[in-house]
Amino acid sequence: MEKYTFTYTIYSGGEDTPGDVMTLVKTAAKAREGAYAPYSEFLVGAAIEMKDGTIHTGNNQENAAYPSGLCAERVALFHASAVCGDKKIKRIAIVGGPRDSVESSPAAPCGACRQSILEYEERQGEPIEVVFAGVGLSPIYSVHSVKDLLPFSFGRENLEG
């Protein structure tokens, strides 16, 4: 039997949280405020920090035809890619929770978003740190790479036979 393990960091959202991480989480929380989620009432914001220090945001966008909506993480990723081309991503922060909540559990990216982040990791050839929190911003979870959240991932090498 094999065992899968990974390492993650939990920050309190206070003094133990690195300033650059907290800034990005707060930016994601601000982006969450603009989410369009009239059906689920679950608002998510994402903020992407590029290696050059620029930040790009996104939020979830729902649609009455449910598959037509898009998660905050992918909105931010696709926007950053469209604007920045091949510039590298350092980290992505995600904050999510019910519309009127003042505190919620940390909102990890869904499977489709994990797969999308993986595509960008492989494209740039280096890990993208994934940071996620709930409304209230405590605790904050951080993993070194989306591969930590996506064991047995499907990537480019799978298509090469």
Q: Which CATH superfamily is domain 8-150 in?
A: Cytidine Deaminase, domain 2 (3.40.140.10)
Exposure string of 85-106, with b = 16+ CB inside 10 Å and e = fewer, is eeeebbbbbbbbbeeeeeeeeb
Type and span of the H or E element at 11: strand 8-11
Query: 81: exposed, middle or buried (C-beta count within 10 Å: 0-12, 13-18, 19+)?
Result: middle
Give the pTM. Answer: 0.95
Cα separation of the two ends of the chain? 26
Residue 84: CB atoms within 10 A of its CB come to: 16
* Token pair listed for 121: 């990791």
Q: Are 118 and 128 in contact (CB under 8 A)?
A: no
Q: What is the pLDDT of residues 15-33, one digit of tens each?
A: 999 999 999 999 999 999 9
pLDDT on residue 74: 98
Taking 50 as the pLDDT cut, the residues of the chain under it are none
Q: What is the pLDDT of residue 92?
A: 98
Helix, coil or strand: residue 72: helix
Helices (H) and strands (E) in the chain, counts: 4, 6
Q: Which residues are catalytic?
A: 73
Contact indicator for 113, 152 with CB cutoff of 8 Å: no
